[in-house]
Structure 1
Amino acid sequence: MKKLIFPLIAILFAFTACTNDENQSINNNAALVGNYVLSTLTADVAVDLNQDMITNMELTNETNCFDSMAISFNADGTFTSTIAEVSFDASNNLVCNTNVESGTYSYANGTLTITVNVNGGTATESQQVLLTTSTLSFNVDDNDVAQYFSGAAGTPASGIMSLDFVYNKI
């Protein structure tokens, strides 16, 4: 069950710096309602996911794998998310599949709580996020990164210890 939930959690939890105007807390489900698309996905180290001999910390510049990542929060407390499921083949070439997950959410005092149906059961996670009127951002680190990049040991993603996600509201 954790193998399926961690990519979704990776989409839903990160941190980014903003101006003082954007740092105002927004504390209710109504503030979160809307559609968001991934704008940046930044690693803590430069990597070469596409094996073109050029490293980059901004992973959206390394592959188009993350281009379809998006999330929609509905007024009724439900959400739908398109996530990238990243792995590597025997030659360390990036393999990208997308998956759609859905469930329920609540948002209060900077904490986003999601419940997802997984393998006939449910999984609930809560995490601090930064929500502004135009962005949703969060960070994943350590074990969550290892789960997000399936089989990362010995791959071009093996040095990543932290990922910062920023989604723009559209």
Structure 2
Amino acid sequence: MKNIFYPLIALLFVFTACSDDDNQSINNNTALVGNYVLSTLTADVAVDLNQDMITNIELTDETSCFDTMAIAFNADGTFSSTVAEVSFDAANNLICNTSVESGTYSYVNGVLTITISVNGGTATESQQVLLTPTSLSFNVDDNDVAQYFSGASGTPASGITSLDFVYNKI
């Protein structure tokens, strides 16, 4: 459950001020429909996830773990996402786990909201995203970062406090 929220929807409760004339919601799922693959995953600090003694802020250059991350938004309001979660063993060697999550979504006024089934119930999260004709991007920070790097304290990922995701539309 947590893996889909954080790669896809990490910041909660985005509020914007609008005048009464601008207060009409625009549901624009059609703009989001398509397949997206992760192109960049940038940390706020340089890290050495692969322990090659070279640090980098671009995490896709540090490990292939994120190479399969992708999202498919369907015209019927459903989505499927391949997500990755990094953990480390006792010697700080990187362990990569991936899973596929699915559910429903809506895209209204720049806010992407997803709902997935979890343990017999549902969970819903919302995230402000930047959508262009060729990409989807968003940022996660603070506690949300820990969801990507299980047990990050004392590991090569321990200094990361913010992640920027960019998915390219294919």
Larger radius of gyration: 2
Q: CA deviation at 1:121?
A: 1.6
Partner of 2:165: 165
Question: What TM-score results when the alignment is normalised by the length of structure 2?
Answer: 0.88
| Residue correspondences, number | 156
Q: CA deviation at 1:27?
A: 5.8
Structure 2, gaps ≥5 residues long: 11-25
Runs of at least 4 residues off by over 2 Å: none
The answer on whether the counterparts of 1:32 and 1:107 sit within 8 Å (CA) in structure 2 is yes
Q: CA deviation at 1:13?
A: 4.0
| Counterpart-to-counterpart distance in 2, 1:97 and 1:30 | 31
Q: CA deviation at 1:139?
A: 0.3
Partner of 1:51: 51
1:119-158 aligned at under 5 Å gives the runs 119-158=119-158
1:167 alignment partner AA: Y
Partner of 1:17: none
1:1-170 aligned at under 5 Å gives the runs 4-5=1-2, 7-13=3-9, 28-170=28-170
2:92 alignment partner AA: N
The answer on whether the counterparts of 1:13 and 1:137 sit within 8 Å (CA) in structure 2 is no
The answer on whether the counterparts of 1:13 and 1:165 sit within 8 Å (CA) in structure 2 is no
SS of 2:71's partner is strand
| Counterpart-to-counterpart distance in 2, 1:13 and 1:52 | 31
SS of 2:68's partner is coil
| Counterpart-to-counterpart distance in 2, 1:118 and 1:133 | 32
The answer on whether the counterparts of 2:103 and 2:116 sit within 8 Å (CA) in structure 1 is yes
The answer on whether the counterparts of 1:140 and 1:163 sit within 8 Å (CA) in structure 2 is yes
| Counterpart-to-counterpart distance in 1, 2:48 and 2:34 | 33
| Counterpart-to-counterpart distance in 1, 2:102 and 2:166 | 20
Partner of 2:14: none
RMSD: 1.5
Question: Could you give the per-residue CA deviations for residues 98-145 of structure 1, whole angstroms, max 9, x where no partner exists?
Answer: 100000000010000000112222110011000000000000000000
Structure 1, gaps ≥5 residues long: 15-25
SS of 2:151's partner is coil
